Chain A
């Protein structure tokens, strides 16, 4: 079925959108002019994300405005003003200094959405250390691996997560000097400290040292198709992208109540759940609880959310619940809904009109891009199923890679790899300690995203799929190699191949195929043992949801598992080129 464009009438909007004419805004846009929306550190001392997001408001007219409205999972509520957020993040910065943690050193978080997480993130940036968030549903292996790769010096976490997922591996993490526990009353030992008392003792005064816009600020791990996870390095300059997309995509106005439902363990939760809204001085809502259809609808109503940034999995779960929030709840303050994480199906875009009273605006970006790159806009017609058009200042193209050269595809509706012209402020500056992989992402001036897409005759981009084997599940990336490696650690497993199979709610579901060593028998008991084994090591965010036995897996003659073929066979798709397939007897 074809979907009609959703045409808007911006002149009837309660607020005039910052971007009312897409083409005109793109034409007149310059990064130099956009940078005028930021203050920079006083006395020309550079640019620091925490100053733009917190201090400049705390030192001005917004000092007592609510920066973070925190909703606890048990019904608590805490309002944190810009002034308090400044003081608390200053305390954390001072604490890092006292602990001997300096510029460029990595501070990791593994935490639920609690206020201390936000104090730590901004305090880390103030100290010019590097903030690296981890997802709390990772298991011990992905956590330890990322801490090692990122050379984490400090980990901010809770008592529970520490004892369940980190403590047993602490000896393998010699570079990790301190663990700071957000909810502990007392220190556990000299290197595992209770955060709250330390924050209380630390001074609330701190002057952000001179910060070069190119200083490393954030580290986001993302899964690779082979090998270890990659740490995408972002710098303080990225805040310009956060600010600009806050203007043109999220359309933030001073009176907005903004809610980004993404967890801070992922790049969306950092770029848009922490930084972007605060650079605009709005009130940013933080809900500690996990998705719950009724709770979320009630929160939209009670907190009078005006701009909502959520994810396809949540939207599809709401669709399943058969709630029609706009009929049961007063959503009158809500004026704009965005979604990111994986392509939003047209049915869901249109469902928004019926159930929320507003279409849902899909957008596209990745850990490497640091901020939204392609988007649907409040004032622009939505073509359901399209990711929209490039953000002003961003140049996107469809290309075909041919070794060291690129063929630019200008014909409409032709599939190719989505590429971005290098130079936007939040472009990743490296993969930590992995220059070669970084270089491989670029051909000339273009960053190749690994996503396949096409562009229609009017310049709208449409997502097609991944160019590699990375699995997108519930909005986050899972690298098949990471899962296969863990399965191979089990003594019964001789071969493992991991693919994503389509699932209506979470997009793709991680499924593993395993071949057993001689002497092991396929059985339900062993299947469950492998499932549990993978879950214990990888955690629910990464572990396979399904495991199937296979006699042997399709491999190339050089012995590499052909995931593409595994997937084609599983889904009954054409097998394509099998000329490299190993012959099996």
Chain B
């Protein structure tokens, strides 16, 4: 899965959480929660959804590393690579 496909999965996950977000207006290097105006609960829902859709385990102790969209994409890409 390439990074564009991973991004698409993230955006699919956001449809039920922050459907109003204009994805092309998102700054990929800014704090994702702030950019999306989502709270800890929404963020948790997003990551649980990604866990299901991508089959990637995201332990909560790793949440700290997932600040921006870029971080999240890179993290998921690495995890997917590992599981191949």
Residues of B within 8 A of A506 (CB): 41
Partner of B20, one of A137, A292, A323, A536: A536
Partner of A474, one of B20, B21, B39: B39
Pair A528/B16 contact, Cβ less than 8 Å:
yes
> A505 within 8 Å of B by Cβ?
yes
> B42 within 8 Å of A by Cβ?
yes
Residues of A within 8 A of B82 (CB): none
Residues of A within 8 A of B79 (CB): none
Pair A322/B60 contact, Cβ less than 8 Å:
yes
Task: Give Cα distance in the complex from A323 to B18, angstroms.
Answer: 29
Task: Give Cα distance in the complex from A291 to B63, angstroms.
Answer: 10
Of residues 466 through 506 on chain A, the ones whose CB sits less than 8 Å from some CB of chain B are 474, 505-506
Cβ-Cβ contact count across A and B, 8 Å cutoff: 62
- Among the stretches A6-14, A124-132, A248-256, A538-546, the one at the interface with B is A538-546
Which range holds the interface residue count of chain B?
A: 20 to 34
> B74 within 8 Å of A by Cβ?
no
Residues of B within 8 A of A528 (CB): 15-16, 19
CB distance from B60 to the nearest CB of A (A): 4
Task: Give Cα distance in the complex from A502 to B34, angstroms.
Answer: 26
Partner of B18, one of A292, A509, A532: A532
Pair B61/A323 contact, Cβ less than 8 Å:
yes
* Interface 0/1 of B27-65, CB less than 8 Å to A: 000010110011111101000000000000000110110
CB distance from B25 to the nearest CB of A (A): 11
Pair B38/A540 contact, Cβ less than 8 Å:
yes
Pair A292/B64 contact, Cβ less than 8 Å:
yes
Task: Give Cα distance in the complex from A313 to B19, angstroms.
Answer: 24
> A45 within 8 Å of B by Cβ?
no
Residues of A within 8 A of B61 (CB): 293-294, 321, 323
CB distance from A455 to the nearest CB of B (A): 32
> A394 within 8 Å of B by Cβ?
no
Pair A313/B37 contact, Cβ less than 8 Å:
no
Task: Give Cα distance in the complex from A365 to B37, angstroms.
Answer: 28
Residues of A within 8 A of B42 (CB): 540, 545
Closest to A509 in B: B41
Pair A533/B44 contact, Cβ less than 8 Å:
no
Residues of A within 8 A of B18 (CB): 532, 535, 540
Residues of B within 8 A of A170 (CB): none
> A302 within 8 Å of B by Cβ?
no
Of residues 1 through 32 on chain B, the ones whose CB sits less than 8 Å from some CB of chain A are 15-16, 18-21, 31
Pair B63/A313 contact, Cβ less than 8 Å:
no
Q: A292-B64, A295-B64 are in contact. List 11 more A-B contacts (CB 8 A).
A: A73-B31, A294-B61, A320-B60, A321-B61, A323-B60, A509-B41, A531-B20, A532-B19, A532-B20, A532-B21, A540-B42
Residues of B within 8 A of A540 (CB): 18, 37-39, 42
Pair B19/A293 contact, Cβ less than 8 Å:
no
> A347 within 8 Å of B by Cβ?
no
CB distance from B33 to the nearest CB of A (A): 7
Task: Give Cα distance in the complex from A274 to B65, angstroms.
Answer: 29
Task: Give Cα distance in the complex from A139 to B20, angstroms.
Answer: 13
Task: Name 23 A/B residue pairs within 8 A (Cβ), A-sorted.
Answer: A137-B37, A290-B40, A291-B40, A292-B63, A293-B60, A294-B61, A294-B64, A295-B64, A313-B40, A317-B40, A320-B60, A321-B61, A323-B60, A474-B41, A506-B41, A529-B19, A531-B19, A532-B18, A532-B20, A535-B18, A535-B19, A536-B20, A541-B39
